[in-house]
Structure 1
Amino acid sequence: MKGVAHVQDVLAIEAQGQVADLPSSTYDMICRGAAINPSAPALSFFATADDYRNPESWTYRELMRDVTRTANLFSRLGVQRNSVVAYVLPNLPETHFVIWGGEAAGIVCAINPLLEGEAIGELLVASGASVLVTLAPFAGIDLWQKVQSVLHKVPALRHLVLVNLVDRMSTEKRFVARMLQRGECSRLYGEGGVRSAVPAQIDIHDYSTAIERESGVALSSTLRISLDDISSYFCTGGTTGLPKLAMRRHGNEVANAWSAGQFFGESIGPGKVIFCGLPLFHVNAVTVTGLLGFSRGAHIVLGTPQGYRGEGVVKHFWEIVEHYRINFFSGVPTLYGSLLDVPVGEHDISSLEYGLCGAAPMPVELLRTFQNRTGIRILEGYGLTEGTCVSSVNPPFGERRVGSIGIRLPGQAMKAVVVDEAGRYIRDCEADEVGQLVISGANVFVGYTRPEQTTDIWMELGDGMNWLNTGDLGRRDADGYFWLTGRKKELIIRGGHNIDPAAIEEPLHRHPAVQIAAAVGRPDMHAGELPVAYVQLKPGTTATEAELAEFLRHEINERAALPKGIRIVDAMPLTGVGKIFKPALRRRETEDALRTALVEAGVEDATVSIIEDTARGMALHVELPNPAREAWAIAALGRFPFAFTVSSAAKPSPEGHR
């Protein structure tokens, strides 16, 4: 099928039913993609942006060889159906081999390598990992030191598999790199080396040496994975402060890749090239620019271990697109904002069919400016880890409605429902009526590893289906397009990264002067949201904002969660029952952020009013003393994901902007 243009196409796909012999595992799904053309390019990797013209490459035959070798290595280390293989890795070819080889042998657990050591250790313990794959010591990279510092706290861990960055270097650089690496190990651990720094019960393996001993022809294990088997644990934002790991089945991942493949149709398949710059500990990179592409025989280009964050990647992005003839890439709003600062110039980017944007709302003005300047269509979508990855997208071959998160994927149910004060289902919403967004389908996960975290996420609608409460508010229009209008859950989304407010609030409550603390997101035109913290001090105590910020630097394990501002207030806004009323804090930050943006744009003395629009979510009205500044105000406000109107005393402007 060409792909989806409107809801009728989704219904037509569903009427045909899923393919009877749907792959039984992610490994089987990639095997089928590889069988389309085993000699076709499957994966390319360049270590630095300056060296993008000289990648390492794998054909589909070679990809399956290395995935199979990795699976067989894990099986030899004792990994079975319910064993957990954790990986703490940047974006490397080995990361893909570990993900898909790990799922073919047991369960993989993705851990963000940017976390501090203590947080990494907590996730390793929570997952029950018996095997850990991470980087070997390497000068200038602190990942090994962070992981090594917590190994003694992980009782289930029995095998440590080390990926050596030296193996990814060119021949002429490899000798010097190995010498530097030996010097780093000697500096850290003396003559005992790495072995002396690892608990005795943990065996150490060099990844590249170990897989050379394994067969890449077929899986050695007699275990046959089924769609009902758990395939992966992925971290997701929580509100308890405890590690929150989402358990997903092979059937969830296969179903999501299949439905996305039907949705995008021929735009992802043999001969198509997909750029992966999002981190491979995140479901978007793993599913959209991983399993989906591999399952359809596309070519995945992996750009630097740091992805889009790699030095020079954004600067050289249009050159990379031109060189590889990239057809598709996926990003977050902050990436598109950064790319606006890089002129396309004379580069031929005509191969680009579209970019996918998710994880956070896309400011409308940013979307329009980007598309007008580059000619590239941006397809906004929506999804969550608990739904495997993607649930709705603007159709690639149909009308793209700016500000919408698109139409649902085939094989997935999605709707807005009305609930009572206790969160119980009352009825389905009418067209354009705002309600709680719920999803159902084969893509919906099993639950969290901690049963108590799973209790409040399901909703009974009386139809016998298993419905997941997303925690988001939205509406569905008459044509089947969904629109987000608010977020009931309190997660702060910074550059597509979910931050649990509890990760900020709990450490603040440990400070002897703090009585009450609350963390909220401050709108930011570059990062989407930035965390800020409000603090009410105990009577008779004193503390400055600078002192509290310094305290948090030693208490918070997640760098992205360090608040960009701390506000000490006399009293917190409270609800009638005494709970902190966070909407008032968010409103205060929103007003201040918008006024600041207007001043920076040259618009002084504007009056900003916030309106809670039931159909569009938070909406803004800005009144200007000088009508000559209206264009400047529209340009500044358009970088935020809010509907707004602008007027002046001399020239009222009732027309809204989305």
Structure 2
Amino acid sequence: MPGYQSLADLAAIEQTPLRERPSAPNTFAMVEQGAALNPGALALRFVLNGEQPTRSTDFTYAQVLDRLHQTANLLHELGVGATDVVSYLLPNLPETAFTFIGAQAAGIVNPINPLLEPAQIADILNACGTKVLVTLRAFPKTDIWQKVEALAALVPTLETVLTVDLRPYLPLPQRLAVGALRLAQATPQLPGRRVLDFGRELRRQPADRLTSGRTIASTDAACYFHTGGTTGTPKIAPLTHRNLTFITGLTEFMTGTAAETGPLVYFCGLPMFHINGAVVTICAPWSMGHTLVLGSPAGYRGPGIVANFWELVEHYRITLFSGVPTVFSRLLEVPTTGRDLSSLQYAICGAAPLSRELILEFERRTGLRIAEGYGSTECSCINTLTPFGGDGPAGSIGLRLPYQDVRIGVLDAQTGLYQRPAEPNESGTILIRGENVFRGYLQAGHNQGVFVDVGDGQAPFFNTGDLGRQDAHGYFYITGRQKELIIRGGHNIDPRLIEDALQQHPGVALAAAIGSPDPDAGELPVAYVTRVPGHAVTEAELLTFAAAHISERAAVPKRIYLADELPLTAIGKIFKPALLKQEIARVFTQRLTQAGLQVQPILVRDDKQLGLVAEIDATGPTGTDVAPAVQQALKGYTVPYVLRPAAG
């Protein structure tokens, strides 16, 4: 199987200086180069409904290039220039991919999560200065257009809204039914905003060339990605064309060149507003002339997609797919019996660590080894990956990618300044440097401590805020997080969204949100609060309050715990590591007790190599083999544990 397998392989690749490697000057040219390999090949296959997995709407590369030219030309006609922003609020559709690439040829594209609430979406649009918004036309069982109606007046820079219609993708009976419903509905309108039909306007545009005459520089901004931030102060990470062409170009070192592999088929089930969906499943296949199968507007969440996933693999001969731990956990529940999975070569898991048991069980059932990766939006998606086809060490997030400088540094705990490189297997902060790294957040106020100067006279490193270690063979491991993000099934949640909302309640004195271990989602948001003296607020009341006041539905805490006091640092800040240890102990105790074991108080300690480790002392009924019972009860959890000798 093509691809590097060791540090020696990376050194061999890097014998050729990066400047001598061919690279497209911008993302539009990158896709043009991929299309030129075989214009008649299938570029995109859109599966509208996972319950009809073999029905797809297909586009050749020639047809996709037509749509990309038309999209860029339409946006240019609407006044979009190199520094103007086109945001999209869309599910996974062909038009989403067309907008992602086409808008970069006209100006700057800004993907937005359509599950966010209107106020939060408006904050993002205002932070970006959005000029054009591409969104979904009103459609049964969707609420995206209703959100646009609620937010449009809050965004003064917004001039034009382009509506994408799902109706043409429907089977004929449904298409007729939706058409009949619309006879009684008015054409979409927004006061003071121009509202146009995306498809109708596209058809008026030239399909064989770009009309703007723009020369797109590699240093020009290509994308603005929202990476978090509290209400009113979203963090926007700008990525340049070079950031994206560089990271996409590394694909050939992982999978092999198109000439080496022949045609591959990528599956996209992750949202296209996320950096993974954009880079791994739009840029990567289209840069090399491969086929992209787009699995329903809701991706893996769509009806029938997971339930019929192995049929999708068999029918479309899928080669590569990526997911988050929740996806792989759900796929284990779907029988593979009778399905031809021989086309599958690559499965990538990112966003959160997988348990070793899940990796081994997935390999046993499918014959496919999951490659675990690590990356961030700020670094254009991916920085480390366990080699495809290799047998990386348990718990590792892999080797660094070629031409990226990934290292572990020891920083001063008070100042954040660089002190020294970490020793092998010593925990420190993961630092990253390379042409994939952004230059800083759009809002300068978010850039404090983002970059670290190691004193070597070269560019500073991006401070990921994650803790990790590197072994003697070059493999990296996550040992913890300095930054407090909660990662729920690959979705990043800023705990301040939860804390700020809860502290609006008159009965809450202090609030702290953390990630609670979960075998499916990796983490679920929970909160610990203290009450204002004299207030008799209950946990149930606070859960209701949180649901009403938190703008991001995924951030609504699953549980809220009332505490007499919260652990504090010497300077009076809430000490979340202590809460996290308490939560791990609580969850593990509950899980083991439900499994019929008697559990002594669980100690969660810091380990320099593994991060947080739970020490478990458990016993069971006579004749119980405790070790496998504990392993079964904690299957799926990524927090490591050890059994105290008394339990063995």
Q: TM-score range by the shorter chain?
A: over 0.9
Q: 1:394-452: per-residue Cα shift (whole Å, max 9, x none)?
A: 01143322210000111111000111121110111121111111000000012111111
Q: 1:88 to 1:589 in 2, by over 3 A?
A: same
Instruction: Tell which deviates more after alignment, 24-33 or 595-604.
Output: 595-604
| Superposed CA offset, 1:565-596 (max 9, x none) | 11111111111111111111111111111122
Q: 476, 491, 507: which one pairs with 2:470? A: 476
Match of 2:167 in 1: 166
Residues 226-235 or 611-620, more deviating: 611-620
Q: Which residue, 200, 216, 226 being the options, matches 1:235?
A: 226
**Which amino acid is 1:62 matched to?**
Q
- Map of 1:29-40 to 2, 5 A cutoff? 29-40=30-41
Alignment of 1:252-267 (within 5 A): 252-266=243-257
Name which of 294, 314, 324 aligns with 1:322. 314
Q: Once the two structures are superposed, what CA deviation does each residue of 1:473-516 show, in whole Å capped at 9, x if it has no partner?
A: 01111111101100110000001100000000011111111111
Q: Letter of the 1:645 partner, please give it.
A: V
Q: Are the equivalent residues in 1 in contact too, given 2:416–2:449 (CA < 8 A)?
A: no
Query: What pairs up with 1:195-214 in 2 under 5 angstroms?
Result: 195=189, 198-200=190-192, 202-214=193-205
* In 2: Cα distance, 1:259 partner to 1:601 partner: 46
- Once residues 588 and 182 of structure 1 are traced to their aligned partners in structure 2, the CA distance between those partners, rounded to angstroms, is 58
Partner of 1:300: 292
> What letter matches 1:6 in structure 2?
S
Letter in 1 for 2:124: L
CA RMSD of aligned residues (A): 1.6
Question: How far apart, CA to CA, are the structure 2 residues paired with 1:182 and 1:269?
Answer: 50
What secondary structure does 2:130 align onto? coil
Task: Report the equivalent of 1:655.
Answer: none
Question: Structure 1 residue 607: deviation in Å?
Answer: 4.8
User: What is the deviation of 1:635?
Assistant: 2.1
Residue in structure 2 matched with residue 73 of structure 1 by the alignment: 74
Amino acid corresponding to residue 441 of structure 1 in structure 2:
G
Give the Cα–Cα distance (whole angstroms) in 2 for the partners of residues 182 and 224 of structure 1.
Answer: 44
The DSSP-based 3-state class of the residue aligned with 1:437 is: strand
Q: What is the identity, as a one-letter code, of the residue corresponding to 2:450?
A: I
The answer to whether the aligner puts 1:490 opposite 2:484 as a matched pair is: yes
CA contact (8 A) 1:4 1:265 kept: no
Q: Which residue of 2 aligns with 1:509?
A: 503
How many Å separate the matches in 1 of 2:600 and 2:2?
49
Aligned mates of 1:599, 1:625 — CA distance in 2 = 10
Are residue 569 (structure 1) and residue 570 (structure 2) matched?
no
Letter matched to residue 229 of structure 1: D
User: Which residue of structure 2 lines up, in the alignment, with residue 605 of structure 1?
Assistant: 599
1:221 to 203, 212, 223: 212
Distance in 2 (alpha carbons) for counterparts of 1:26 and 1:414: 25
TM-score, with length taken from structure 1: 0.95
Identity %: 42
- Check the 8 A contact 1:83/1:107 in 2, yes or no: yes
Q: What is the match of residue 629 of structure 2? A: 632
Task: Give matches, 1:10-29, under 5 Å.
Answer: 10-18=10-18, 19-29=20-30
- Equivalent position amino acid for 1:207 in 2: F
- 1:83 alignment partner in structure 2: 84
The equivalent of 2:2 in structure 1 is 2
Pairs within 5 Å for 1:122-521: 122-183=123-184, 186=185, 193-195=187-189, 198-200=190-192, 202-238=193-229, 242-266=233-257, 270-421=262-413, 422-463=415-456, 464-521=458-515
Deviation for aligned residue 1:173: 2.6
**CA-CA distance at 1:46 after TM superposition:** 1.1
- Letter of the structure 1 residue corresponding to residue 209 of structure 2: A
Distance 1:473 1:647 in 2: 26
TM-score by length of 2: 0.96
Task: Tell me the amino acid that sits aligned with residue 498 of structure 1.
Answer: N
Alpha-carbon contact 1:513-1:538 (below 8 Å) kept: yes
Q: How far did 1:625 drift?
A: 1.6
Does the CA contact (< 8 Å) of 1:4 and 1:398 recur in 2?
no
CA distance in 1, matches of 2:596, 2:346: 34
1:103/1:270 Cα in 2 relative to 1: closer, same or farther (>3 Å)?
A: farther
C-alpha contact 1:473 1:485 (8 A) present in aligned 2: yes
Q: Specify whether residues 154 and 239 from structure 1 end up closer, same or farther in structure 2 by C-alpha distance, changes over 3 A only.
A: closer
CA distance in 2, matches of 1:256, 1:645: 38
Letter in 1 for 2:533: P
> Residue type matched to 2:431 in 1?
V
Q: Distance in 2 between matches of 1:616 and 1:252?
A: 32
SS at match of 1:642: coil
Q: Is the 8 A contact 2:378 2:438 kept in 1?
A: yes
Task: Write the letter of the residue equivalent to 1:643.
Answer: P
Deviation at 1:606, TM superposition (A): 5.3
AA of the residue aligned to 1:41: L
**CA distance in 2 between partners of 1:478 and 1:178 (Å):** 63
CA displacement 1:204-263 (0-9 Å, x = unmatched): 110110110111101111111111000001111336872111111001011111123322
For residues 7 and 20 of structure 1, do their structure 2 counterparts lie closer, same or farther at Cα, with a shift above 3 Å needed? closer
State whether structure 2 residue 588 is matched by structure 1 residue 594.
Answer: yes
Query: In terms of mean alpha carbon deviation, does 161-170 or 591-600 score higher?
Result: 591-600
Q: Counterpart of 1:656?
A: none
Q: Which amino acid aligns with 2:205?
A: E
1:352 is paired with a residue whose SS is coil
1:621 and 2:615 aligned: yes
1:466 deviates by: 2.5
Contact 2:599-2:618 within 8 A present in 1 as well: yes
Cα 1:173–1:540, aligned 2, differ >3 Å: closer, same or farther?
closer
Provide the C-alpha distance between the structure 2 equivalents of 1:42 and 1:100, rounded to a whole number of angstroms. 14
Question: Residues 21 and 369 from structure 1, CA distance in 2 versus in 1: closer, same or farther, beyond 3 angstroms?
Answer: closer
Checking the alignment, whether the CA contact within 8 Å between 1:260 and 1:409 is kept in structure 2 is no
Change (3 A) 1:269 1:382: same
Q: Which runs of 5+ in 1 are unaligned?
A: 653-658
Retained in 2: the 8 A contact 1:45–1:304? yes
* Distance across 1 between alignment mates of 2:432 and 2:563: 39
SS at match of 1:85: strand
CA contact under 8 A between 2:585 and 2:614: conserved in structure 1? no
* Deviation larger for 13-22 or 354-363: 13-22
Query: In the alignment, residue 541 of structure 1 is paired with which amino acid?
Result: H
The equivalent of 2:572 in structure 1 is 578
CA offsets 1:448-476 (integer angstroms, 9 cap, x no match): 11111012200011122221000000111
Q: Deviations for 1:48-94, whole angstroms, at most 9, x for unmatched residues?
A: 01222121111111111111110111011011000000000000000
Distance in 2 between residues matched to 1:602 and 1:285, nearest whole Å: 42
The answer on whether the counterparts of 1:417 and 1:435 sit within 8 Å (CA) in structure 2 is: yes
| Counterpart AA for 1:394 | T
Which stretch has the larger CA shift, 390-399 or 85-94?
Answer: 390-399
What SS class does the counterpart of residue 167 from structure 1 fall into? helix
